[in-house]
Amino acid sequence: MSLPATIPAPPISIAGFKDVYRVPRVEEALSELQELGAGASEALRATYVRMIRTGGQRFVIKPSALPDIDALIGELPNFEEPLEDIRKQLALCLSSDDPLELEPILLLGDPGIGKTHFARRLSKLLGTGYNFIGMSSLTAGWILSGASAQWKNAKPGKVFDALVNGDYANPVIVVDEIDKAGGDAQYDPLGSLYTLLEHDTAAEFIDEFAEVPIDASDVVWIATANDARSIPEPILNRMNVYAIEAPDEEGARRIARSIYGELRGEHAWGRAFPEELAGDSLDRLGRMKPREMRRMMLAAFGNAKLAGRNEVLPEDIADDRVAKKARIGF
């Protein structure tokens, strides 16, 4: 059975507004900062001025009807369990005036099986923003919660950035490879998650740089990990945990078809290419891990154009693993 290259467009989302911070509180903080005179942080002053100028209102999104979860399950069959739970939560949301609200999700599984791709596709289906925070190479405790403006080169954390500098009060925020977050007892990168994963405390989240309350209570949290044993128990207790298996051969082909359609639809040049990826090319792309597919497919589009074609052939899809092996032992 042939599946569509992309899942159907989600229902038009209802966009209300919500204050993610209170401008009078920012004005008060700016006034206090200016009283410090020459010793005040210029970066913090500029942040307050920008917050006052843009205002605290952001879009708060909820679908106008139940999105086509079945289509996304067909595209990503190894994510059926979390998607079925999301379907139930969305049904409750649609039965009231409440904004979109999903329980925090932790996806456990081997590297490269499509966990991050799932999060990106879910944000598109819901019609909200998407933010990615990679934790594997980070040891600084301020990555989520910001660093005090008293420190040189300090800046706000990623949560502040997503809500204050973004368009949505309820974006999807992905914390990738949460089990690999480094740090120590004093600068724990995950420390702020204890606050952020609880609805009530997240509503008064304090970024250590800005030091004004930010309402992060509507954020859709998706964390990914390879091994739950490295994740603190209080974090696990605050999330719905799902063990994700690698896709089978047909599942990998579906993911490959989805990534082809997604990249084709994201770019104006994509309209010149066929709606479906040809079978031999699809087979070649489907043999790769989902993590590799997007990068290799984008390169394949470029290879086809360089060859003067508007169709991706199997030879356009280079297998990185083969190429790397060929370079070893030169």
d(CA 228, CA 245): 15
Cα-Cα-Cα-Cα dihedral sign, residues 12, 16, 21, 23: positive
d(CA 63, CA 82): 18
Secondary structure of 154-214 in the HEC alphabet? CCCCHHHHHHHCCCECCCEEEEECHHHCCCCCCCCCCCCHHHHCCHHHHCCEECCCCCCEE
pLDDT band at 329 (very low <50, low <70, confident <90, very high): very low
Displacement of CA 187 from its chain's centroid (Å): 24
What pLDDT, in 10s, does the model give residues 269-308? Answer: 999 999 999 989 999 998 888 778 889 999 999 999 999 9
**SS3 assignment, position 21:** coil
Give me the domains of the chain, ranges plus CATH numbers. 13-21+56-243 (3.40.50.300), 249-327 (1.10.8)
**SS3 assignment, position 42:** helix
Residue 77: in which H helix or E strand, if any?
none
Tokens of 244: 């994700």
Helix and strand element counts for the chain (H, E): 14, 9
**Strand (E) positions, the chain?**
13-19, 57-63, 105-108, 130-134, 172-176, 205-206, 213-214, 220-225, 240-243
What pLDDT, in 10s, does the model give residues 136-190? Answer: 655 556 788 888 888 878 889 999 999 999 999 999 999 998 988 765 555 677 8
- Considering the chain, what is the average pLDDT of its residues? 86
d(CA 270, CA 310): 9
What pLDDT, in 10s, does the model give residues 223-250? Answer: 999 989 989 899 999 999 999 998 888 8
What would the mean pLDDT of 103-132 be, rounded to a whole number? 91
pLDDT band at 255 (very low <50, low <70, confident <90, very high): confident
